[in-house]
Amino acid sequence: MPVRNSLDLVWPSEGLTRIPYPVYGRADVYDEERARLFMGATWNFLCLEAELPQPGDYRATFVGDVPVIVARDLDGSLGAFENRCAHRGALLCLKSGGHGAEISCVYHNWTYDLKGKLTGVAFQRGIKRKGGMPADFKLAEHNIRTLRVASFAGIVFGTFSADTPPVEAYLGPEIARRIQRVMHKPIKLLGYNNQLLPNNWKLYVENVKDSYHASLLHLFFTTFRLNRLSQEGGIIVDESGGHHVSYSKMASDQQSAEYDSATLRAKREDYRLADPSMLAGRDEFGDGVSLQILSVFPAFIVQQIQNCLAVRQVVPRGVGETELVWTYFGYADDDEEMLRMRLKQANLVGPGGYVSMEDGAVGGFIQRALPGGAADCSVIEMGGREATSQDTRATESSVRGFWKAYRAHMGL
């Protein structure tokens, strides 16, 4: 029987293999996601520790669509609080970040320390003993709501909930190990990209977890043999279903020959690169893995594509719009050749990336097609009906895993 819930959202009896289309387009579902997912018992990416190198550094970020400030206090500790003045609700940090001992609201000059505590109110005592705040007004009663903060492998996570388990327990051992594989030594920031997507945030997260579309959608990947389903690889799905890893190794000559014999749209034998050095790379991790895409529920991604390293933060901007924030990095001990390689391969991804440009379009294709589909569902049966790890990428197992975790958190 179909499952009904407090949202009165009908979930088909097939469970994880059918996703009702209204989940991508209803405002009440979006509001419930903010409360139960992003402000609920989940850990959300805030920034990299490397973005807060000195005491007094702070950055504006988001948890879901909730504006947040993450800061390294003067004592060196990390903290986070809502980017919203307790007075009239204005944004406190209007830029990407800053440095200082305090942050002041531009509207009425209420001032806070780097832990979100109110330290001063302009004209609190009035002017010439006239006006001002009531005599019993107390600064300590108007601090900003804070988040719990934890740093793992140089990644700063935040949660609004006291019920969220410790971050390593939340990630689980296999996902934690795969994050540490990439974040195993001090990093060097290389740059940022911001991208607006005309679709619901979950459509992008599904796309990240969909490992088999790359051989069908991405012409560059398959033509130049960077990622083909014939390559050795697989999918790791954690017990909750919410976190995943997709990985592959460079193809052998035999695997490439088998793939070349197939007839696929996303394969052109007549294409050549004017600068083939784009495809050059090093096996810097010593395991032969040339691609690893890792996601942490609900909306964070760690990427290794060849030697291009990045994290991606998925920021909902409403029911039908999403912002994707890319932060590119290398390692502090990179030599000049490796640095050039990383910067060149960064052209594979981002808003106009040779690979990810198509990913920025397909979510919009779905969002535009949803009107009229209120009684219909998507079908997610590739690779079976379970949400488990598999030794193939011809599967939607990790997509089903996302919906397993989603339904558990949402009570659906």
State residue 251's pLDDT score.
Answer: 59
- E-strand stretches of 87-227: 97-99, 102-104, 111-113, 118-120, 146-152, 155-159, 187-197
Structure confidence at residue 354 (pLDDT): 82
**CA distances in angstroms from 267 to 79, 207, 208, 278, 352, listed in the order given:** 48, 20, 21, 18, 19
What was the pLDDT predicted at 351? 87
Joined together, the tokens standing for residue 47 give: 């920034």
Percent of the chain that is helix, strand, coil (3-state, to 5): 25, 30, 45
Query: Which pLDDT does position 277 carry in this prediction?
Result: 78
pLDDT for res 333: 97
| pLDDT for 232 | 85
Would you state the pLDDT for residue 268?
Answer: 55
**188, 338 contact by CB (below 8 A):** no
Q: Is the dihedral of CA 397, 403, 408, 412 positive or negative?
A: negative
What pLDDT is stored for residue 147 in this prediction? 98
If we measure between CA atoms, which residue out of 39, 379, 31 comes closest to residue 210? Answer: 379
3 state DSSP class of 391: coil
Q: How far apart are CA 5 and CA 298, in angstroms?
A: 21
The model's pLDDT over 204-235, given as tens digits with 9 standing for 90+, comes to 999 999 988 877 776 776 666 665 666 788 99
* pLDDT in the model for residue 217: 72
Residues of the chain with pLDDT under 50: 1, 3-4, 252-257, 259
Q: Where are the beta strands (DSSP E) in 57-154?
A: 57-63, 66-72, 78-82, 97-99, 102-104, 111-113, 118-120, 146-152
In this prediction, residue 228 carries a pLDDT of: 60
pLDDT in tens, 53-87: 999 999 999 999 999 999 999 999 999 999 999 99
Contacts 24+ apart (CB under 8 A), 402-405: 402/202, 402/205, 402/206, 402/209, 402/241, 402/242, 402/244, 402/297, 403/16, 403/19, 403/241, 404/16, 404/240, 404/241, 404/242, 405/240, 405/241, 405/242, 405/297, 405/298
Please give the sequence-ordered ranges of beta strands (E in DSSP) within 73-140, or none if there are none. Answer: 78-82, 97-99, 102-104, 111-113, 118-120
User: What pLDDT is stored for residue 358 in this prediction?
Assistant: 86
Residues 150, 257: Cα–Cα separation, whole Å: 47
Domains and CATH numbers, the chain: 44-152 (2.102.10.10), 173-410 (3.90.380.10)
> Taking the model in full, what pTM does it have?
0.92
